[in-house]
Amino acid sequence: MRTFTLEKVALSLLLLLYTSCGYAQWLQAEWDVMGTRATVELWLEPHQRSNGKDDNAINHPAVRAVHDEFERLNQLLSPWIAGSELALVNANAAQKSVAISTEFENLLQRSRWYFEKTNGAFDITFASAGHLYNYREGTQPDDATLESVAPAIGLNRVRVSASGVTFSDAATRIDLGGIAKGYAIDQAIALLKSFSIKHAYIGLGGDSYVLGDRNGRPWQVGIRHPRDDKAVALTLPVSDIAISTSGDYERYFMRDGERVHHILNPSTGRSSSSLVSVTVLAEKGIDADALSTSVFVMGPEKGLEMINRLEGVSAILITPEGDVLYSDDLAAPN
């Protein structure tokens, strides 16, 4: 005869409790990198959870891979790290040809593609003037200084050949801040997919990507109100798409009633003021990122005209008056 002792019942209850620990769950992690905040939120199936002993989300292998990739890109592309590939190019390319990695070259070629597509509104040599601003300290170059660096701006000052990069003007500087975060997001999404993650949100400052859905519903991504950091201007239900917002409220200071911020018009070396927020949706983060900065500089008419011409991209613009403008594919039919 089989007997069910109290111990046996207790043991099977414990076993049941242990196996039910293998539930699916959302995992969230946040950290600072690339001068901004990284956020990762992902859905783990029971077999994708780590052994349960380590509750720290950052130590999950998929999150760790994203963390390390962002750090690697920061070391490669930061203008503030003296040994970064970007800093070495800026320090030496006016004197000699500087050898670069294939990855760096690809980013330069992509930047050139956008430079041409936007008639020079997207121009990584904006940094020739950009490095003279200090948003934290609230300082900017005077007109005479800007005039003296004007000849250094223009991507045709940058030559890329088999032996490396050269600058034809001693005052030329480049900065990939308008495209690097979108690229980093694409790298992160590829990594998450390699871990068989099906549902995730990745945010890096104003750039994000939503993979799959959230509990069977589209992700809800908010566009910040440009003049109230606690308010959301619009919420977009989205999945499997990159979203990038460029705003004049990210890095700025006020001077004589004017907002001096981090998106510069390369033709003047001054902050662009015809829009206050631009959100672009695209399949790839790199395109959403470059295009949000581009449209911000191009202004509402030329910017929307370009977005409407491009395949598979949408945009939402907020004007200084507070009007919201949409690309044709998003606008409600009249």
**Stretch near ligand ADP under the rule CB under 6 A, chosen from 44-52, 57-65, 183-191, 287-295:** 287-295
Burial class (CB in 10 A: 0-12, 13-18, 19+), 185: buried
Q: Which does 313 bind (CB under 5 to 8 A by kind): Mg ion, ligand ADP, none?
A: none
Q: Which residue has the tokens 């990855």?
A: 103
Select 293 or 327, whichever has its Cβ closest to ligand ADP: 293
Q: Out of 292, 295, 307, 315, point to the residue binding Mg ion (CB under 5 A).
A: 292
Q: Which does 69 bind (CB under 5 to 8 A by kind): ligand ADP, Mg ion, none?
A: none
Instruction: Give the distance, in angstroms, between the CA of residue 204 and the centroid of all CA atoms in the same chain.
Output: 5
For the bound state, the minimum distance from the C-beta of residue 129 to ligand ADP, rounded and expressed in Å, comes to 9
Select 192 or 204, whichever has its Cβ closest to ligand ADP: 204
Give 195's contacts (C-beta < 8 A, 6+ positions apart): 48, 61, 62, 65
Site for ligand ADP in 221-280 (CB under 6 A): 244, 246, 250, 262-264, 266
| Residue 325, SS3 per DSSP | strand
Q: Which does 122 bind (CB under 5 to 8 A by kind): Mg ion, ligand ADP, none?
A: ligand ADP
* Spatial CA neighbour of 206 closest among 296, 313, 78, 323: 296
* Spatial CA neighbour of 319 closest among 273, 280, 267: 273
In the chain, DSSP finds a helix count (H) and a strand count (E) of 9, 16
Cβ distance 303 to 277 under 8 Å?
Answer: no
Q: How far is CA 59 from CA 29, 53, 63, 328, in A?
A: 9, 11, 7, 43
Site for ligand ADP in 91-130 (CB under 6 A): 122-124, 126
Select 205 or 303, whichever has its Cβ closest to ligand ADP: 205
For the bound state, the minimum distance from the C-beta of residue 173 to ligand ADP, rounded and expressed in Å, comes to 11
Q: How many CB atoms lie within 10 A of CB 248?
A: 23
Q: Which does 177 bind (CB under 5 to 8 A by kind): ligand ADP, Mg ion, none?
A: ligand ADP
Cβ distance 78 to 176 under 8 Å?
Answer: no
Site for ligand ADP in 22-61 (CB under 6 A): none
| Two structure tokens written together for 279 | 């959100």
Site for Mg ion in 139-178 (CB under 5 A): 178
Site string for ligand ADP, 181-200 (x = CB under 6 A): x-------------------
Q: Out of 206, 269, 285, 299, point to the residue binding ligand ADP (CB under 6 A).
A: 206
Distance CA 40, CA 182 (A): 15
Three-state SS sequence of 155-194:
HHHEEEECCEEEECCCCCCCCCCCCHHHHHHHHHHHHHHH
**Stretch near ligand ADP under the rule CB under 6 A, chosen from 12-20, 55-63, 80-88, 291-299:** 291-299
**Stretch near ligand ADP under the rule CB under 6 A, chosen from 18-26, 184-192, 205-213, 322-330:** 205-213
Q: Is 245 among the residues that bind Mg ion (CB under 5 A)?
A: no
Judged by the rule CB under 6 A, the positions of this chain that interact with ligand ADP are 122-124, 126, 175, 177-178, 181, 205-207, 244, 246, 250, 262-264, 266, 289, 292-293, 297
Judged by the rule CB under 5 A, the positions of this chain that interact with Mg ion are 178, 246, 289, 292-293
